[in-house]
Amino acid sequence: MKKILFLIIIASLTACTANDKKHTSTSLAQYIDDTVISAAIEGVKASQANTDQALLEKGVKHAASLWRAEDGIPSEFTEFVKANYISDTEKRKVVFQKISGYLESMSGNFNEITLDLKKILDETGIEIDEIDRMFGNYSVSSHLSDDLYANKIAFVIALNYPYFTLAEKEKLGPNWSRDQWAMARLGDFFVSRVPAELNQALNEALGNGDMYIAEYNVYMGHLRTDDGRQIFPDDMVLLSHWNLRDELKADYADKENGIKKQEMIVKVMEHIIAQDIPKDVINSPDYEWAPYTNKVTKAGTPVNVSPEPDTRYQLILNSFRAMKDIDVYNPEMNTAIMRKFSWEMEIAQEEIEELFDTYLRSPQLMKVAALIKERLGRDLKPYDIWYDGFKSRSSIPEDLLASKTSILYPDPSAFRADMPNMLRKLGWSGERAQYLADKIVVDPARGSGHAWGAGMKGSVSHLRTRISEKGMDYKGYNIAVHEFGHNVEQTISLYDVDNYMMSGVPNTAFTEAIAYVFQDRDLMLLGMKDDNPDKEKMETLDASWALMEIMGVGMVEMLNWKWLYENPGATASQFKEAVIKNALDTWNKYFAPVIGVKDSPLLAIYSHTVNDPLYLPNYSYGHVIQFQVEEYLKDKNLTAEIDRILKQGRLTPQQWMMGAVGSKISTQPLLKALDEVFP
């Protein structure tokens, strides 16, 4: 699980749109008309010689699109433009640097406050009360946008550093200087005006989804077969869906009971998807549950319990409706889908869907499936989308790995103490390793773990990881290494990028790619050498199969959100049926021909759909990027290249990729590598 607060201030300053040209507080008509805009432009040209006319016109029009009646009458807008437009290039740079510093301070300090307010919700150790939820779901920056419009700071920025669309960034960006890029990123801050109460409502809806998932544990030691047998350890507690999936993967190494465990996990997943899981067994050790019959007992005595009341789907609906309420304030990107892809990811949803569709239809996947079938010695089952046998660790018993990680990392402080050593193993110098590690702290997580980046220089990133009283098990370690990768990316792309406005990466898919680079080296970091001569071949097979699975769930989520926009008044029950149908249709279209089994709903199990809506496509995008980056890194110095690549900062995805590896984002390198596996 990944959680990163990328410039928290942006969330309150913009609703992630292109240009809010029509909204006012009382109507959808633009308050400042073309005549006033022309007069304002001419006023600047008359008083300030050598003005860049194209930039002037863009800035005035953008500021006008945000001006409302409460901001002043049209003549006041004209006077504001004349008094605040900066034509002098050097003066513009000086003011830009000042603004960057102020925004870094606000962003960083809001980030620290948010971390404090969410501390009890995110970390173990203190019982959660309702007041903790109230503070944890409160957005401290939700009214900042209103304040900055009221004091006219927003208009100074919009006027002098206007927003550039994705198309403009792609066209002009290759020839921009770093200063021009940074100023364009400042332009991303004020692109629409959304009432603070709507931003707060969205934050609350997402926070409720986050807490729901963080507490969705299944007590595996309390599961029973139909004849009353227990097949999981007494103390095994798994979070849905991440830990359930990872346990299923680990069970491939259990030759005696692996299949029985995997099939029971699948039944648990299917009940969660269908929402007929008994609500009393969720996050509770008080009952025994037989997933096949869906019967519940307490101390061996049958009890009547009710199913979970479609809570999973209601929470998604709540987030959808909170996002939909914001749509009207974003006429040019008037759906959450468009804002998520074209603004946040900076790639069109249609382009993502085409990328996924092309890959999922690739004939090479049939060859991978045939190889898995041969290796397993049986026909494939739906859960084999999580087949883990191409990884080196899959042949190492889970208990052996867990015994090593639990000794090394009995608590979060032990993991933090070892971070400089891990970074040195990856290739950074001792000094550089300490520099990076000093900027990351490790906290005990209630959920599966996440990475939360710093918001300003001088602050630290937080690695939240789940560690039991017995120490960190291997699953937790594997996730922690992934989150460690996020933290390293967050640190480099904040501290080492030349301008704060350029800090970060193009979108979350890129930080996932770096996290995967770390995660794939988890055994090496444990000092376990892989002497397999087929290692490269196995890595290609693993990457191709993992990409197929995660693209499938991304396709389902995109279908789900399209359905929501077509059926905005749907009930949770209706939405549940739609999600299951989308999962089945996607399965039958892409997976049934490969796996050989129809009608599996497993693509609908991912928890991200609840606690981080429309995030799943980032994972697939991240896998594609990771493979390209890994291919590029094969004959390079790993850590030197990571430093170089991340210092690019937040270019658009395609321009970042061109600078990183010299080619645009594509699945062709992976498919080419597969062709070499199956000549």
pLDDT digits (tens, 9 = 90+) for 83-118: 999 999 999 999 999 999 999 999 999 999 999 999
pLDDT at 108: 95
Residue finishing a domain among 133, 159, 193: 193
**pLDDT by residue (tens digit) across 619-641?**
898 889 889 988 898 889 999 99
- 598 inside domain: yes
As a whole number, mean pLDDT of residues 300-309 equals 95
- Judge if 41 and 110 occupy the same domain: yes
Distance, CA of 461 to CA of 2 (rounded, Å): 13
Residue 530 lies in a domain: no
| Count of Cβ atoms closer than 10 Å to residue 215 Cβ | 14
Residue 28 has pLDDT above 60, yes or no: no
Model pLDDT, residue 34: 94
- pLDDT band at residue 145 using 50, 70 and 90 as cut-offs: confident
In a domain, 587, yes or no: yes
The stretch 355-361 carries a mean pLDDT of: 97
Residue 2: band (very low, low, confident or very high) from pLDDT cuts 50, 70, 90: very low
- What was the pLDDT predicted at 16? 36
Residue 485 contacts residue 515 (beta carbons within 8 Å): yes
- 452 three-class SS: strand
**Above 80 in pLDDT, residue 15?**
no
Phi, psi of 451 (to 5 degrees): -115, 135
**Domain, as residue range, for 361:** 313-390+535-677
Last residue of a domain, which of 487, 503, 525?
525
Where a domain ends, among 193, 223, 255?
A: 193
What is the structure's pLDDT at 24?
Answer: 36
Q: 317 with 291, same domain? A: no
> How much is the pLDDT for 308?
97
> Which residue type occupies 538?
M
pLDDT value of residue 159? 97
312 in the Ramachandran plot: left (φ > 0), alpha (ψ -120 to 50) or beta? alpha
Pair 421, 340 in one domain: no
85/132 same-domain check: yes
Distances (CA, A) of 474 to 468, 521, 526: 11, 13, 11
Q: Is residue 174 included in any domain, yes or no?
A: yes
**Do 232 and 345 share a domain, yes or no?**
no
Q: Which pLDDT band, with edges at 50, 70 and 90, does 530 fall under?
A: low
The DSSP letter of residue 455 is: S
Using CA atoms of 423, 424, 430, 436 in order, give the dihedral in degrees to the nearest 10.
-10
pLDDT for res 266:
98
Same domain, 453 and 305: no
Backbone phi and psi for residue 123, each to the nearest 5 degrees, phi listed first: -115, 155
Cα 121 from Cα 557, distance rounded (Å): 26
Distance between CA 445 and CA 116 in Å, rounded?
Answer: 14
pLDDT of residue 395: 61
Say whether both 243 and 159 belong to one domain. no
- Please check the confidence at residue 10 and state whether its pLDDT lies above 80: no
**Residues in contact with 72: Cβ distance below 8 Å, sequence separation at least 6, in sequence order:** 80
**Model confidence pLDDT, tens digit, residues 275-294:** 999 999 999 999 999 999 99
Domain count, the chain: 4
Structure tokens at 545: 């199969």
Mean pLDDT for 358-371 is 97
According to the model, what pLDDT value does residue 13 have?
A: 52
Highest mean pLDDT among 76-80, 394-398, 448-452, 468-472: 76-80
Cα–Cα separations (whole angstroms), residue 631 to 210, 290, 507, 509, 627: 35, 46, 21, 17, 6
- 254 and 285, same domain (yes or no): yes
Residue percentage of the chain with pLDDT more than 90: 77
567 and 669 share a domain?
yes
Same domain, 26 and 144: yes
Which of these ranges, 139-148, 206-215, 566-575, has the smallest mean pLDDT? Answer: 139-148
Reported pTM = 0.77
pLDDT band for position 27 (cuts 50, 70, 90): very low
Is 365 within a domain? yes
**Does the structure show a pLDDT above 80 at 19?**
no
Residue 565 predicted with pLDDT over 60:
yes
Q: What is the pLDDT of residue 194?
A: 81
Q: What is the pLDDT of residue 394?
A: 54
**3-class DSSP state for residue 295?**
strand
Tell me the C-alpha to C-alpha distance, in Å, between residue 509 and each of 202, 383, 492, 617.
22, 25, 16, 8
Tell me how far apart the alpha carbons of residues 587 and 162 are, in angstroms, rounded to a whole number: 44
- Spatial distance between the Cα atoms of 134 and 641, rounded to a whole number of angstroms: 43
Q: What are phi and psi of 418, to 5 degrees?
A: -90, -5
CA-based torsion, 530, 241, 251, 398: positive or negative: positive
Model pLDDT, residue 446: 85
Q: Phi and psi for 538 in degrees, rounded to 5?
A: -65, -40
Q: What is the pLDDT of residue 324?
A: 97
Same domain, 552 and 456: no
Q: How far is CA 194 from CA 8, 149, 179, 327, 677, in A?
A: 15, 11, 29, 9, 52
- Is residue 26 very low, low, confident or very high in pLDDT (cuts 50, 70, 90)? very low
Neighbours of 101 (CB within 10 A): 12
- DSSP H or E segment with residue 440: strand 440-444
Same structural domain for residues 661 and 642? Answer: yes
Q: Is-contact 331 22, C-beta < 8 A?
A: yes
Token pair belonging to 266: 């699948």
